[in-house]
């Protein structure tokens, strides 16, 4: 199926557009997916930390509540004689109890231990923290343990208390004052295992250290929680020991993902740019080929019509004067010469395009070859009003070269100088010997070549974009062939040109007197 050119362009633009959109969408989603996945991992870790902290708080709470139950079971208010031994047993048990007070709600002094000079200070300190007005006795359910926990100025006073009724109906408030150091030792026992992997601390509401130093709150993985009913003035803080690495790891992972996504996007865009450039070149080449065909047809048509016209005049015998006839013969000869040069160029170009090289290297006297070619061309050039100058150094050696190829390259340069000379019709041909090379230069004072075009003029089918060039006949293959000729000889073509001042093309051929390159 043949697809029109315009449609081809549309298809390529649409394909590039689709690739851009789909790769952008792909990058967007993969980035969001990876970020989402990292967030899930982060959330899972945070949740497991929260769970761990809450579990530990729960374990400690349970331990205190279990102690309460044991203390409640050990207390019997009915037998005052037994109180001292009962209290001693409670203090001795592993319940963190420092002192037990039995109070009568209506009395200012303890029922047990009996108020005395020895317990004066201890009792005073206890009463300062355990204020009955704070307790709201009416709301207490008999037998149920309650807790009182205080802030730092009160030395984190902690007590369990319960209302008990004796058989005789008398009510006692039983207070178990806890030992701070023993409570801390209990916390340590429960939290020690955790500290291999976590920084654990207990602080009060003002972030004063109670157990270990306060933990930095800055981390994403930091978690803190209060003890709900027992040590309710304290907060447990927890953060993984390697939190800095964890955060850095997540950040690095994110950066790495972002880097690879950006890199692959970049590569896609670069490849698209390559595709675009290649496609543009292809399009240009196609356009050049098309104009090449019309240029070549035109170039062949002009001499052909001249030949036909003058030969017709001659055949009809309309020309009486000998000099006129001679001039017409010369025109026919020159135009057929031009045609055969063009056809040679085309054949050579066809070989070049197919990669076939016909080299017929032999000992060549370049100076003689150039002079002969100039003579063949001189009449035509001078007829067009050109001043032609030739200088050849006397020490030009014979070199090993393909004479036909060199002639063709030389004619191409000469022809260009004629075509692009404009009003200043002066051409100089110079043959010199430089360091190991023969330089054959064709110099004109014509329109010149801009620096931006200087490289492109050697491309196949390339023709200058100036209107002055466009109106001159040409096929855009002359310089490509000339360059190729230079290259098969191991040489090059040099250009010096200035817009509006003229150009100098030099065919530089290495001096080789025998084959072997």
Q: Which residues bind ligand ADP (CB under 6 A)?
A: 412, 416-417, 419-420, 444, 446-449, 457, 462-464, 469, 474-480, 503
The C-alpha atoms of residue 160 and residue 162 are separated, in whole angstroms, by 7
What's the min distance (Å) between Cβ of 310 and ligand ADP?
Answer: 25
Residue 332 or 480 with smaller CB distance to ligand ADP: 480
Residue 235 or 477 with smaller CB distance to ligand ADP: 477
Residue 335 or 444 with smaller CB distance to ligand ADP: 444
What's the min distance (Å) between Cβ of 476 and ligand ADP?
Answer: 4
Residue 113: asked if its preceding bond is cis (omega within 30°), the reply is: yes
Residue 13 or 353 with smaller CB distance to ligand ADP: 353
What's the min distance (Å) between Cβ of 373 and ligand ADP?
Answer: 16
What's the min distance (Å) between Cβ of 389 and ligand ADP?
Answer: 16
What's the min distance (Å) between Cβ of 447 and ligand ADP?
Answer: 5
Q: How far is CA 385 from CA 240, 375, 379, 382, 430, in A?
A: 96, 16, 10, 5, 20
Strand partners, 100: 176
Residue 301 or 324 with smaller CB distance to ligand ADP: 301
For residue 324, the SS3 value is helix
What's the min distance (Å) between Cβ of 466 and ligand ADP?
Answer: 7
Instruction: Please check whether residue 204 is in contact with residue 152, taking contact to mean a CB–CB distance below 8 angstroms.
Output: yes
Phi, psi of 422 (to 5 degrees): 65, -135
Residue 333 or 460 with smaller CB distance to ligand ADP: 460
Residue 103 or 480 with smaller CB distance to ligand ADP: 480
332-344 as b/e: b if 16+ CB within 10 A: bebbeebbebbeb
Residue number with the shortest CB distance to ligand ADP?
Answer: 464
Q: Where are the alpha helices (DSSP H) in 216-242?
A: none
Instruction: Please check whether residue 98 is in contact with residue 178, taking contact to mean a CB–CB distance below 8 angstroms.
Output: yes
**Residues found in the chain:** 517
Around Cβ 217, how many Cβ atoms within 10 Å? 11
Residue 327 or 504 with smaller CB distance to ligand ADP: 504
Ranges assigned E (strand) in 261-420: 362-364, 387-392, 399-401
The C-alpha atoms of residue 365 and residue 399 are separated, in whole angstroms, by 7
What's the min distance (Å) between Cβ of 284 and ligand ADP?
Answer: 15
What's the min distance (Å) between Cβ of 471 and ligand ADP?
Answer: 11
Angle separating helix axes 322-354 and 403-419, nearest 10 degrees: 110
């Amino acid at each position: 199926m043949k697809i029109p050119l315009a449609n081809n362009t549309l298809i390529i633009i649409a394909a590039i557009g689709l690739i851009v959109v789909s790769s952008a969408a792909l990058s967007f989603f993969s980035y969001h997916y990876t970020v989402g996945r990292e967030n899930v991992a982060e959330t899972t870790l945070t949740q497991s930390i929260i769970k761990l902290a809450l579990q530990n708080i729960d374990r400690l709470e349970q331990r205190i509540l279990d102690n309460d139950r044991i203390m409640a079971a050990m207390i019997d208010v009915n037998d005052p004689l037994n109180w001292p031994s009962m209290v001693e047993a409670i203090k001795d048990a592993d319940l963190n109890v420092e002192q037990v007070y039995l109070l009568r709600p209506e009395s200012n002094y303890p029922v047990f231990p009996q108020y005395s000079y020895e317990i004066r200070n201890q009792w005073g300190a206890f009463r300062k923290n355990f204020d009955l007005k704070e307790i709201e006795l009416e709301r207490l359910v008999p037998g149920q343990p309650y807790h009182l926990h205080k802030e730092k100025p009160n030395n984190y006073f902690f007590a369990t208390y319960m209302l008990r009724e004796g058989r005789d109906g008398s009510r006692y408030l039983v207070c178990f004052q806890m030992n701070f150091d023993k409570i801390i030792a209990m916390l340590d026992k429960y939290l020690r295992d955790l500290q291999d992997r976590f920084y654990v601390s207990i602080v009060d509401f003002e972030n004063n250290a109670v157990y270990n130093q306060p933990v930095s709150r800055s981390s994403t993985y930091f978690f803190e929680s209060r003890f709900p009913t027992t040590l309710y003035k304290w907060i447990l803080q927890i953060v993984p020991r390697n939190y800095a690495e964890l955060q850095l790891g997540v950040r690095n992972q994110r950066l790495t993902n972002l880097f690879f996504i950006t890199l692959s996007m970049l590569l896609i865009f670069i490849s698209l740019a390559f595709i675009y450039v290649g496609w543009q070149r292809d399009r240009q080449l196609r356009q050049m080929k098309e104009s090449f065909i019309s240029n070549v047809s035109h170039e062949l048509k002009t001499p052909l019509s001249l030949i036909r016209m003058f030969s017709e005049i001659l055949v009809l015998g309309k020309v009486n004067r000998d000099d006129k006839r001679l001039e017409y013969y010369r025109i026919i000869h020159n135009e057929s010469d031009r045609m055969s040069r063009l056809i040679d160029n085309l054949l050579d170009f066809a070989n070049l395009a197919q990669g076939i090289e016909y080299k017929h290297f032999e000992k060549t006297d370049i100076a003689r070859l150039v002079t002969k070619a100039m003579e063949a061309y001189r009449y035509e050039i001078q007829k067009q009003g050109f001043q032609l100058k030739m200088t050849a150094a006397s020490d030009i050696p014979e070199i090993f070269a393909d004479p036909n190829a060199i002639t063709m390259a030389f004619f191409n340069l000469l022809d260009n100088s004629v075509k692009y000379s404009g009003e200043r019709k002066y051409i100089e041909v110079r043959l010199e010997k430089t360091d190991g090379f023969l330089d054959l230069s064709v110099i004109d004072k014509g329109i010149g070549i801009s620096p931006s075009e200087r490289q492109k003029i050697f491309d196949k089918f390339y023709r200058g974009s100036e209107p002055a060039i466009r109106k001159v006949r040409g096929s855009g293959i002359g310089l490509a062939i000339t360059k190729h000729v230079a290259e098969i000889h191991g040489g090059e073509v040099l250009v010096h040109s200035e817009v509006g001042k003229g150009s100098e093309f030099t065919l530089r051929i290495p001096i080789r007197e025998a084959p072997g390159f």
